Amino acid sequence: MAAALHESFPYFTSEHDMLRQTIRRFVAEQVLPFADRWEEEGLTPRSVMAAMGELGLLGIRFEEAYGGSALDTLSTVVYAEELGRSTYGGFAITALVHTDMAAPHLHHAGNAEQKARLMPDIVAGKRIAAVAMTEPDAGSDLASMRTTARREADGSWVLNGAKMFITNGVHGEIFFVAAKTGESGRNHHISMFIVEKGTPGFSVARPLKKHGWLSSDTAELVFENCRIPAANLLGEEHRGFYALVKNLQNERLVLAAQSMGEAARAIELTLEWVTQRKAFNATLWDKQAIRHRLAMLTARVQAARAMLYNTAWRDTRGDNVVAEASMLKALCGELVNEVMYDCLQFHGGMGYMRESAIERMARDARIQSIGGGASEVMLDEIAKRMH
């Protein structure tokens, strides 16, 4: 189904197709044989990230000067969709946070010295990046952020506070941290900072055990009089809120693409199952209710992908796609969960077993309507632009 769905769209070039095949081959050879063990260990090995770096998969949108490929938004969508198809959401999000939620802050706001020092290792997968924005009591409400950064007489900064649900938080090496640098409650008094692993006063409070994405390491972070040099201010002081917003539409497109990769693969796996599984002297596929439901889910995934690809194409042209990105995040996050619910149902008892890919995929997909902006937040974003 995946090939047929995507070949009907005019946006993709031979370069996009080559990227898709490269990722699919990498997943088949270096992810699928080992990822069950990563689920048990609670992380995606850094050697796998380095292998992705060697293939150029961690620098798709970044400057060629730092080892990147400087490709377009459609390339990012291909990348996220194929990682979603891996069936291991923890592996996929480990890579996607590194490339499309954390590193873009350095790409957009970093100065020449910061980029020269950090970007080559990020693109090569030698140092893994994370973004620390969410807090225990704040969630998506940036105005309620409590982490503070105080400037000292010598120009250095002292950070105090905590961050929660940070992907790549346990084993990451480079953190892009949002903190208040001015009057409490005002978004434009947030600044971004580069905090590197091992900085005194910075620690992992605890690894977090999750419902899904088990091969992704997630942590609560603590900053206790964490002193960082003046050179580690990322971008302009008090402009961190705008830096965070700048990357939101890319994050939302990426998560939508990951969701649709997951949904498409789940339907494929379920089609394989129902055409072989027999009950009451016929295959499950012979049951009209089952094949009609799978047909409708396929149509809805096709429609969502059409919007996703068109929006990515428009973003490449420089169009304003903020509303569409919010729509896609809400639509695809909800749709992937509907797909997983029915696909698990059609697997019967086997779908509830840990040895079944669909069981893992259903757990992993649940976060897609929560993480990166809950559906309710996205719908408010859409509603603001409706009148």
Q: CB neighbours of 279 closer than 8 A, spacing ≥ 6?
A: none
Residue where the block lists tokens 């380095």: 50
The CA radius of gyration of the chain, in Å to the nearest whole number, is 21
As separate numbers, helices (DSSP H) first and strands (DSSP E) second, the chain gives 14, 10
Please state at what angle helix 322-346 crosses helix 375-384, rounded to 10 degrees: 140
Interstrand relation of 218-228 and 202-207 (parallel, antiparallel or unpaired): antiparallel
Q: Is the dihedral of CA 288, 289, 294, 297 positive or negative?
A: positive
Residue where the block lists tokens 């990348």: 79
Whole-angstrom distance, CA of residue 286 vs CA of residue 251: 40
Identify residue 96 by its one-letter amino acid code.
L
Residue where the block lists tokens 């990020």: 122
Give the helix/strand (H/E) hosting 57: none
Alpha-carbon distances, residue 182 vs 143, 227, 235 (angstroms): 12, 17, 16
What is residue 196's DSSP assignment?
A: E
Catalytic residue at 251?
yes
Whole-angstrom distance, CA of residue 76 vs CA of residue 285: 35
Whole-angstrom distance, CA of residue 73 vs CA of residue 325: 12
Residue where the block lists tokens 């995040």: 329
Instruction: Give the active site residue among 251, 262, 324, 381.
Output: 251
Alpha-carbon distances, residue 79 vs 154, 197, 260, 299, 380 (angstroms): 43, 28, 12, 22, 28
Q: CB neighbours of 13 closer than 8 A, spacing ≥ 6?
A: none
Instruction: List, by residue number, the catalytic residues.
Output: 251
